[in-house]
Structure 1
Amino acid sequence: MTFSVVVLAAGKGTRMKSNLPKVLHPIADKPMVQHIIDTVNTLGADNIHLIYGHGGEQLESALSHNHLNWCLQAEQLGTGHAVQQAAPHIKDNEDVLILVGDAPLIKAQTLQQLIDTKKQSDLALLTVELDDPTGMGRIIRDGEHVKAIVEHKDATEAQRQIKEINTGMMIMGGADLKRWLSALKSDNAQGEFYLTDVIEMAAKEGKSIKASHPSSSVEVEGINNRKQLAMIERAYQLENAENLLMEGLYILDPQRFDLRGQISFGVDCRIDVNVIIKGNVVLGNNVTIGPNCILIDCQIGDDSVIEANSIVEQAQLHNGCSVGPYARLRPGAVMHDKSKVGNFVEMKKTTLGKGSKANHLTYLGDTQVGEGANIGAGTITCNYDGVNKSQTIIGDGAFIGSNSALVAPVTIGKMATVGAGSTVSSNVDDHELAVARSKQRNIQGWQRPTKK
């Protein structure tokens, strides 16, 4: 049987104390509800109905790349009322999987198990046992059969001792769901239409109701405040780190690692503490990443080393490269084999040739550097005139003296030398020495300024 999904995402999330709708708060740089949508997409759902309310424009902007049916819940009158907004789009002959938008760690395997449980019953719900179920709806059973769900505020003292709770996730037939939704009433402590009431309705009709369980309670933990958001983030990251460790990536401290995208790697790669991975990062063999580095959409070749506190973004490193510490490779940076950038060096749209070095305090923008060149400390390429960007070309074996400024567009020839402290605005031919600085004058009797 085909199935559709209803995702409840209309809550404002007042306890988040934010102008951002709750379900847009990120886990690993991705909105929590997007995690759920991505998981559902792996199951092959026919439709995804997103129930939204607060911050509709923000939601539509953030989730516009998804194929969703948007269902507005203008007033938040409970979970049953939320699902009622999707009822006109639900087919009688399909199953409907109902999910909450603030439990981003739910696994596809768990949802598939819930779907399979529905095949053996009329209705299946996801439940979990908690040591402290305070505030959660309790599962009322008659032996093996689920008979009802009682919200905490409506539960008796005896019912509050029950540790099996409702996760808010369930699946049932479309025709049954629509019939039960139309019969919901709001005569409860909250004055709301509870989706959980359909369980009691199903039981009274003699429907078979089975429960399925996640492999871990963290899968179904909802997020209602910043503390819970941080806890779920760490749980997500720890699981990522542990999985990568088992796949052979050496992460020195799994508690201090953040994967906010995808990473692939060869053998004997090592990642130190507080490293953040964003986008798609590819590591070759024997790559070492030092502490406090950020890697974004980049490729790092074999035997390369990224020293501490460096940022590598949309850059490509060939084999045996060395970066940092405190280096920044911006988009378009390319380092060929055994090239090196050292501390406080920044590269943007720049290619550093094989074996070339820029060891200290240098900016290379819109620059092509040949093989075996040496860029002295304090060198900058002046690539921007206030309106246009221009290119600097530095030939093979060139030596650029410390504290030089190369004013683009300019070409420094092969084996050419630029004297330290020069400002070069004209081309330098192969093997030439360029010295562009004023003659030194020593003035005697000069009066140093005094504080007024």
Structure 2
Amino acid sequence: MDALGIVVMAAGKGTRLKSSRPKVLHAVGGKLLLQHVIDAALQLVPASAMQVVIGHQADLVREAMANTGVHFVLQAQQLGTGHALQCVKQAYLAAGAIPPENLIVLSGDVPLIRPETIDRLWQTHTRESAAMTILTAVPENPSGYGRVLRKSPSSAEVRAIVEQKSLTPEQLAHPDQLREINSGIYAFRTETLFRSLDALTNTNSAGEFYLTDVAALLTEAGERVVAVAADSVDEVLGANTIAEMMHLDAALRRATADRLMAAGVTIFRPDTVVIDSTVAVGPDTVLEPYVQLLGNTRIGSHCRVRSYSTLENSTVGDGVLIRNGCILDSAEVAANAVLGPYAHLRPQSRIGEGAHVGNFVETKKAVLGAGSKANHLSYLGDAEIGAGVNIGAGVITCNYDGANKHVTRVGDRSFIGSDSTLVAPLSVEPDSYVAAGSCITENVPSGALALGRSRQVNKPGWAQRLKAKQKEAKA
């Protein structure tokens, strides 16, 4: 029998969000609520020891979390938290599996929960030899939450959990004396929990089975029920409205910015940046105001990202300068490159060491070799460009024929003149030149000069004759 398993409650609808999506599939800090909780739990147990209870739009939740490897338990009817654990019990029985000796129950909509706090709950549970351990918090205003009553102020043991609506007039009159709230996160001795679940009733206004009632059942049976307080109230609070969710989002993003600054990253105006919790940035990098770093973006050391740039799922090497307003989406940038301003690197763009991608240059599925430059107003799509290449202003790789995409290859040290169009499939061999204003449709040999212009014709006096005709027509 394993010592510990984890159950994550993720079956609810979240009606107060006024959203068509399941509550746990909303995102804060760049990651789904449920993913935050699962990632924290995975620091303590393997995915095989985790049960996620799903119900509302279960298929969507299952699909979103499929890559985590956790087990799913269907709560077809959402009849309360106690009923959710009854479904978990039935799932173990149906599978003929032996449940773990202890279960920790987490809420899928509490994204700020830390692995350290879950571990402290677990350690307290085992140290106190408890049948049930409740994670609590002490907010400034406990209104609306169930209160935890300890046997004495210094005791770890719990006398009762009292819901807000059940508080006495005397208790309501002295809220400062009763501020410890139930977070809805628990540890249980599994055998004792499963036995107590059979005794739950739904004789309440909602007709639901409440897990909080287990505390009263265990206390009446003489079992040990204890509590341990979390360090932070935000860590255990969920979100019932979009506004509350954005409060959590701000807290997560500020914590991410603080973590990066503590590791040597300079962030000007950290209240203005948007940095997902999954982002990594090296020391001595500078982030200017209004930068967005999203997804699995990785930035090296000694970089500078100027204002209004957005990087998503991109990798940036050391010493890179990203000027204002650049957009990087699933791109790779090697060390000491210079981007922008207003460059757009689309997926599968790879920019080589020391390369330059300048004003209003767009790349897509393109490789730009070390030291190569495309500084002005170009589109490079499905292109393999070697090292030391100069791409002039307004150069376009014509990669699409209306049905298929084709590749343009430009060899090392080549020079592509301004306003040239390279019609793929095409190969420009190393050390070649393409004259400005050319339309190139045939391969260019190494060391050659390619010209693809129409012949210029000058007609002397043509403008004067035109003006005379125009004057005559008006007469």
TM-score (norm 2): 0.88
Partner Cα separation in structure 2 for residue 247 and residue 65 of structure 1: 30
Partner Cα separation in structure 1 for residue 224 and residue 161 of structure 2: 15
Answer whether contact 1:149 1:166 (CA < 8 A) is retained. Answer: yes
1:89 Cα deviation after fit: 4.1
Partner Cα separation in structure 2 for residue 280 and residue 212 of structure 1: 34
Answer whether contact 1:93 1:175 (CA < 8 A) is retained. Answer: no
Partner of 1:348: 364
Partner of 2:434: 418
Partner Cα separation in structure 2 for residue 287 and residue 155 of structure 1: 57
Q: Which runs of 5+ in 1 are unaligned?
A: 448-452
Partner Cα separation in structure 1 for residue 55 and residue 390 of structure 2: 59
Partner Cα separation in structure 2 for residue 418 and residue 311 of structure 1: 29
1:337 Cα deviation after fit: 2.8
Q: Is 1:155 equivalent to 2:155 in the alignment?
A: no
1:413 Cα deviation after fit: 4.3
1:339 Cα deviation after fit: 1.6
1:249 Cα deviation after fit: 1.5
Partner of 2:473: none
Quick check: which one's strand share is greater? 1
Aligned CA distance change for structure 1 residues 214 and 440 (closer, same or farther; 3 Å): farther
User: Cα deviations across residues 217-252 of structure 1 (Å, max 9, x unaligned)?
Assistant: 111011111111111111111111101111111122
Partner of 1:116: 123
Aligned length: 447
| Matching residue's letter, 1:133 | P
Q: Is 1:437 equivalent to 2:454 in the alignment?
A: yes
Partner of 2:83: 81
1:331 Cα deviation after fit: 2.7
Q: Is 1:48 equivalent to 2:50 in the alignment?
A: yes
Answer whether contact 2:102 2:187 (CA < 8 A) is retained. Answer: yes
Answer whether contact 1:423 1:437 (CA < 8 A) is retained. Answer: no
Q: 2:141 aligns with which of 104, 110, 132?
A: 132
Answer whether contact 1:154 1:189 (CA < 8 A) is retained. Answer: no
**SS of alignment partner, residue 377 of structure 2:** strand
Percent identity, aligned pairs only, is 38
Name whichever of 364-373 and 412-421 sits farther off.
412-421
| Matching residue's letter, 2:403 | V
User: Cα deviations across residues 131-188 of structure 1 (Å, max 9, x unaligned)?
Assistant: 2112111112321231111111233233443211100011111121112211112233
- After superposition, residues 244-263 of structure 1 pair within 5 angstroms as 244-260=260-276, 262-263=278-279
1:438 Cα deviation after fit: 5.5
Q: Is 1:332 equivalent to 2:348 in the alignment?
A: yes
- After superposition, residues 278-357 of structure 1 pair within 5 angstroms as 278-357=294-373
User: Cα deviations across residues 339-365 of structure 1 (Å, max 9, x unaligned)?
Assistant: 211111011222223332111111011
Aligned CA distance change for structure 1 residues 115 and 25 (closer, same or farther; 3 Å): same
Partner of 1:450: none
TM-score (norm 1): 0.92
Partner of 1:103: 110
- After superposition, residues 52-67 of structure 1 pair within 5 angstroms as 52-67=54-69
Quick check: which one's helix share is greater? 2
Aligned CA distance change for structure 1 residues 252 and 25 (closer, same or farther; 3 Å): same
| Matching residue's letter, 2:112 | L
1:265 Cα deviation after fit: 4.3
**SS of alignment partner, residue 123 of structure 2:** helix
Partner Cα separation in structure 1 for residue 54 and residue 283 of structure 2: 45
User: Cα deviations across residues 239-291 of structure 1 (Å, max 9, x unaligned)?
Assistant: 11101111111122322333336444444211122333334333333111112
Partner Cα separation in structure 2 for residue 92 and residue 401 of structure 1: 71
1:14 Cα deviation after fit: 0.9
Partner of 1:385: 401
1:40 Cα deviation after fit: 1.1
Answer whether contact 1:121 1:209 (CA < 8 A) is retained. Answer: no
User: Cα deviations across residues 44-98 of structure 1 (Å, max 9, x unaligned)?
Assistant: 2562222221101111111112333322222222221222111224557611111
Q: 2:73 aligns with which of 60, 71, 74?
A: 71
Partner Cα separation in structure 2 for residue 254 and residue 5 of structure 1: 35
